[in-house]
Chain A
Amino acid sequence: MEKRIYNPSEAVVFYKTREEYGELSNMASGFPIEFNNIIRIPSSEALYQMMRYTEYPDIQFEIANTNSAMAAKMKSKKYTSLTRKDWRRKRVVIMRWCLNMKYIANRNRFGPILRATKNLEIVEKSKKDDFWGAIEVGDQLIGQNILGRLLVELRSDIYNEKEVKIYIPNVPELKIFGVDLNILCQSRSDGNEEKHKVFSLFESNLRRNSLVD
């Protein structure tokens, strides 16, 4: 995708998490992602990083067990050689899904922030990453700004449809702690029995991977 040029005065620009619109960043705290009340991933960044290592539940666990999104990213860096082979081709699709999950799990908190961006372009300002964000060049921001564009896409879904729904990205072998996403994301309306089944499967996978006794 080609780089785009943004005028910061005509866009919603976010940079640090504690500044205005910092909630749009994957590094923002306070937006945990919960799967059917069974597991809870502390941030969209942690979830995204975990999906690099779908064949390594222990690495995923290590990434999930961090206090901040930055710590999750740092943990992930230790294992980049074990990243799934199709990562570069699939990472945007996975990021789109992570943002979808962030919104669904935090609809009442993340929704108002997204809506407050009105119809403006959303740009993640970055010092060196012009793929996910855009870099300051003079008084402009230049980059592919994929994260900002995915957020605009999500916002338009929110504007156009009343209900943004959970979906599973079309990527093979997507697992969290050894459990396939299709199972983990099954509707809660399936009832308690279903939830218990998921939980048992989840627990047995953790056992198989020596993550619990």
Chain B
Amino acid sequence: MASNQTRLMLSTYTKQCMTTRADYSANILRALSEFEDKRLKEEDHIEKWLLQFSDENQDLILQETSRLIENFYFSEDTITSELLSVCNKGLDKSRDYTLIPHQRSGSSREYFTSLFERKAGENGIRLNEESHNYLLIDDCIFSGNTMIKELESWLEINYREGITITIVVHAYYKQGAEYLKYRIERARLEGNYQFMGTILSQKAFNESNLMRPRAESHESKEYFDLLSNYKNESQSRKPLIPPRVSDVVNDPLFSSPSVRNIFEDEMLTYGKRLVETTGYPIQNSLRPMGYDARLSYGFGAFYANFRNISNNCPLAFWYKSEGFYPLIDRKVR
């Protein structure tokens, strides 16, 4: 055996050390560094969040959270360049486009619409206030409900024959985008509607990218019974979403299927406690795995960026309550 090679191995053996809890915490803090939250400057921020979970699973939660943030938290530079790249490839530069204005001040729509307005010219995209081709810009579509509300109220006033609408988002969850498309088509825009789904394929999240506990644990069974009983008792018209059944192999969300089960169960346990603090475990849309109008465990997304984390993500990441210290300070704008 070549001695140099062996020496290299020895050096690898001796120097390579395990990634520690402090390393994972540092990774998370580094990734979140441009997020506006003073608590991120505090040395024990991550530990304070972590210590709220069960002792035996804290390291696993930390490692997987580090992984989630590494893969699904997006910086300003990343979003800007990816949004513009999508537009450069997908928009017809021989046409003029008109931006659909945002309706809520401080919203992500306002931010990304104004960012696009500044960058459009230098990217050869022509903006004009009176074209037939409308552009709606946002960071992410989750359930699609927020965008549907905005679009429907805009269409009520602005709809006219022959207009097209192109929605440009950094990422979308397929079920939300499909629902949005269905609702817009129902708004009699069929044929004139264009959704730039194809150019966003790298950030198109599907059902398996959503956190939804399986029925195996006691906690999960108990929560699903609660939902089922509510459905029966109130005869709610809301759809009842069952626990996850299939085993997802090689899902990028988690490092393994078993780890995923443990992580989701922890998020359910602590999210459920947070929902219970409101006194209304079912009536509103607050669910352990994130906002969802349906009778479900919650939407279960993980998408966050330099501006915010969505309320469709598990509550244990962002929900502020008297007895709970969240990892990310969600902004309600």
Which residues of A does B touch, CB under 8 Å? 18-23, 30, 32, 34, 37-40, 58, 61-62, 64-65, 108-109, 111-113, 115-116, 199, 203, 206, 210-213
Q: Contact: A213 with B3, CB < 8 Å?
A: yes
Select A22's contact among B1, B57, B257, beta carbons within 8 Å: B257
B14 interface hit (Cβ, 8 Å): yes
**A-contact bits for B124-138, CB 8 A (1 contact / 0 none):** 000000000000000
Q: Which DSSP category, helix, strand, loop or mixed, fits chain B's interface?
A: helix
Q: Contact: A112 with B7, CB < 8 Å?
A: no
Q: Contact: A113 with B259, CB < 8 Å?
A: yes
Q: Contact: A18 with B250, CB < 8 Å?
A: yes
Closest to A20 in B: B257
B13 interface hit (Cβ, 8 Å): yes
Q: Given A109-B60, A112-B57, do A61 and B9 touch, yes or no (CB 8 Å)?
A: yes
**Bound-state Cα–Cα, A30 to B59, Å:** 14
Segment 1-53 of B: residues with Cβ below 8 Å from A: 1, 3, 6-7, 9-10, 12-14, 16-18
User: Contacts of A40 on B, CB cut-off 8 Å?
Assistant: 12-13, 16
B310 interface hit (Cβ, 8 Å): no
**Bound-state Cα–Cα, A116 to B220, Å:** 14
User: Contacts of A213 on B, CB cut-off 8 Å?
Assistant: 3, 7
Q: What's the nearest-Cβ distance from chain B to residue A34, in Å?
A: 7
Q: What's the nearest-Cβ distance from chain B to residue A125, in Å?
A: 14
**Bound-state Cα–Cα, A22 to B248, Å:** 13
Q: Given A23-B258, A37-B17, do A18 and B249 touch, yes or no (CB 8 Å)?
A: yes
Select A19's contact among B10, B14, B249, B259, beta carbons within 8 Å: B249
Select A212's contact among B7, B59, B259, beta carbons within 8 Å: B7
**Bound-state Cα–Cα, A64 to B8, Å:** 13
**Bound-state Cα–Cα, A126 to B140, Å:** 44
Q: Contact: A65 with B9, CB < 8 Å?
A: yes
Q: What's the nearest-Cβ distance from chain A to residue B227, in Å?
A: 23
Segment 66-108 of B: residues with Cβ below 8 Å from A: none
Closest to A32 in B: B18
Q: Contact: A22 with B10, CB < 8 Å?
A: no
**Bound-state Cα–Cα, A144 to B275, Å:** 47
> For B12, B13, B261, which residue has the most chain A Cβ atoms within 10 angstroms?
B13
Q: What's the nearest-Cβ distance from chain A to residue B265, in Å?
A: 8
Q: Contact: B6 with A112, CB < 8 Å?
A: no
Q: Contact: B258 with A20, CB < 8 Å?
A: yes
User: Contacts of B60 on A, CB cut-off 8 Å?
Assistant: 108-109, 112
User: Contacts of A116 on B, CB cut-off 8 Å?
Assistant: 258, 261-262
**Bound-state Cα–Cα, A212 to B5, Å:** 9
User: Contacts of B9 on A, CB cut-off 8 Å?
Assistant: 61, 64-65
19 A-B interface contacts by CB (under 8 A) = A18-B250, A19-B247, A19-B249, A19-B257, A20-B247, A21-B258, A23-B258, A32-B18, A40-B12, A40-B16, A64-B9, A108-B59, A112-B57, A112-B60, A113-B258, A116-B258, A210-B3, A212-B7, A213-B7
Q: Contact: A211 with B6, CB < 8 Å?
A: yes
> For A19, A62, A115, A210, which residue has the most chain B Cβ atoms within 10 angstroms?
A19
Q: Contact: A30 with B6, CB < 8 Å?
A: no
B153 interface hit (Cβ, 8 Å): no
Q: Contact: A206 with B10, CB < 8 Å?
A: yes
Closest to A40 in B: B13
B63 interface hit (Cβ, 8 Å): yes
Q: Contact: A212 with B10, CB < 8 Å?
A: yes
**A-contact bits for B248-288, CB 8 A (1 contact / 0 none):** 01100001111101100000000000000000000000000
Known contacts A21-B257, A38-B14, A64-B9; 10 further A-B pairs (Cβ under 8 A): A18-B249, A18-B256, A20-B258, A22-B257, A22-B258, A23-B256, A58-B1, A113-B262, A115-B56, A211-B6
User: Contacts of B12 on A, CB cut-off 8 Å?
Assistant: 40
User: Contacts of B3 on A, CB cut-off 8 Å?
Assistant: 210-213
Closest to B248 in A: A20
**Bound-state Cα–Cα, A67 to B7, Å:** 17
**Bound-state Cα–Cα, A19 to B12, Å:** 30
**Bound-state Cα–Cα, A72 to B18, Å:** 21
**Bound-state Cα–Cα, A29 to B6, Å:** 22
